[in-house]
């Protein structure tokens, strides 16, 4: 009898797995603001509330907002009822979209992340001072499309690789300035900035770097964990730039098995059969509920030993667009964030050039 019991325990026991949970992870202040903007608009104006493009790049979040009455469109001409508000996504939009909304008499609410707005204002300030503006970013990404659309067509040159920098021709090398997409890899951006400053020593950069604080913090946490674990999971959508960069950072940091997954069902469990340690993080547009879902799925298969690895504390808060703030809530909840103050400081700094 004891031998049978011992055999049963051996069969049912789960393998041990060390989990290193990155902190910070998941939602950033800009994403929280954008999602809150849609939910607050639904409370104030009722359904439907239209949203141009995915409010943030996460399918779980988008589906949740659809269930509450949000309707997602790619262009304003898809909106049949101009009496209902439309919200512009956290990634920002070209100025032509604002103008189109005015022409159509659409009530538009702008949920652009303030850190993206900071980049827009930097580009505009450089342009006013007669500088040729160079944008470091990924072609086709909504944030890049929005930044390019802040100035007249052809006023901003997009570069994606150091080779693009080397191949630049027809520019006034003494009159250049650059800005960057906010969700790039820190290391890739540093490489691009090095290429720009090496080729154009007089080029003017941002007063403070454009890579968002959340992007930086999440990548630094991955860099600390990835070299020490057998596998790394990044929770996020495949169309999320910052989530994709986290996976790339994990691979470059020495993790041989790095996967980007949205839900627990997306995990290839066969890949984890011989894994003894896993790092888990989440992109800035991924909600914590998805991290918990994946953790539960691991707990169903392994005996977990969980350790939180913290590399930064985050307390940034961005208030809602003014049209959506409670009349008595703005002074109570809101404070001007460091990043919004930076926007003013950026323009002051640019006046010196």
Q: Where in the sequence numbering do the catalytic residues fall?
A: 143
SS3 80: coil
Which strands make up the sheet holding 132-136, listed edge to edge?
156-159, 132-136, 176-180
Structure tokens at 237: 């959508």
310 is annotated as contributing to ligand binding: no
CA distance linking residue 243 with residue 260, whole number of Å: 7
CA distance linking residue 106 with residue 79, whole number of Å: 9
331 is annotated as contributing to ligand binding: no
241 is annotated as contributing to ligand binding: yes
113 is annotated as contributing to ligand binding: yes
22 is annotated as contributing to ligand binding: no
Q: In 3D, which of 10, 28, 4, 6 has the Cα closest to residue 211?
A: 28
CA distance linking residue 17 with residue 277, whole number of Å: 6
240 is annotated as contributing to ligand binding: yes
Task: Identify the helix (H) or strand (E) that includes residue 327.
Answer: none
28 is annotated as contributing to ligand binding: yes
120 is annotated as contributing to ligand binding: no
98 is annotated as contributing to ligand binding: no
255 is annotated as contributing to ligand binding: no
Counting beta carbons within 10 angstroms of the beta carbon of residue 267, is it exposed (0 to 12), middle (13 to 18) or buried (19 or more)? Answer: middle
SS3 40: helix
Taking a C-beta distance cutoff of 8 angstroms, is the pair 58, 282 a contact?
A: no
Structure tokens at 80: 């049949």
Binding residues for [4Fe-4S] cluster: 28, 113, 212
Q: Per the annotation, where are the binding residues for isopentenyl diphosphate?
A: 57, 91, 141, 240-242, 285
Q: Which residues are annotated as part of the binding site?
A: 28, 57, 91, 113, 141, 182, 212, 240-242, 285
């Amino acid at each position: 009898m004891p031998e049978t019991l011992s055999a049963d325990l051996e069969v049912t026991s789960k393998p041990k797995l060390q989990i290193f949970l990155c902190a910070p992870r998941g939602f950033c202040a800009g994403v929280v603001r954008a999602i809150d903007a849609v939910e607050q608009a639904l409370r104030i104006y009722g359904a439907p509330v239209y949203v141009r493009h995915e409010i943030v790049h996460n399918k779980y979040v988008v589906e949740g907002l659809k269930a509450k009455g949000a309707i997602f469109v790619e262009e304003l001409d898809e909106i049949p009822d101009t009496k209902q508000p439309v919200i512009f996504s956290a990634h920002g939009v070209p100025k032509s979209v604002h103008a189109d909304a005015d022409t159509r008499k659409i009530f538009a609410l702008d949920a652009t992340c303030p850190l993206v707005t900071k980049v827009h204002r930097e580009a505009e300030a450089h342009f006013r001072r007669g500088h040729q503006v160079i944008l470091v970013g990924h072609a086709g990404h909504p944030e890049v499309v929005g930044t390019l659309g802040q100035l007249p067509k052809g006023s901003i040159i997009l570069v994606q690789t150091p080779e693009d920098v080397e191949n630049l021709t027809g520019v006034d090398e003494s009159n250049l300035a650059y800005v960057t997409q906010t969700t790039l890899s820190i290391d890739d951006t540093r490489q691009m900035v090095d290429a720009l400053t090496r080729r154009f020593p007089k080029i003017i950069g941002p007063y403070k770097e454009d890579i968002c604080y959340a992007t930086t913090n999440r990548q630094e946490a991955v860099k600390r964990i990835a070299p020490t674990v057998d596998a790394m999971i990044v929770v996020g959508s495949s169309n999320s730039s910052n989530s994709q960069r986290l996976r790339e950072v994990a691979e470059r940091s020495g993790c041989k098995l790095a996967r980007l997954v949205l839900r627990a069902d997306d995990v290839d469990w066969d890949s984890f059969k011989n894994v003894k340690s896993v790092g888990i993080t989440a992109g800035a547009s991924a909600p914590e509920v998805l991290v918990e879902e994946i953790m539960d799925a691991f707990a169903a298969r392994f005996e977990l030993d969980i350790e939180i690895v913290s590399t930064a504390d985050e307390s940034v808060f961005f208030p809602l667009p003014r049209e959506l703030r409670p009349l008595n809530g703005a002074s109570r909840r809101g404070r001007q964030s460091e990043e919004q103050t930076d926007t003013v400081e950026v323009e002051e700094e640019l006046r010196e050039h």
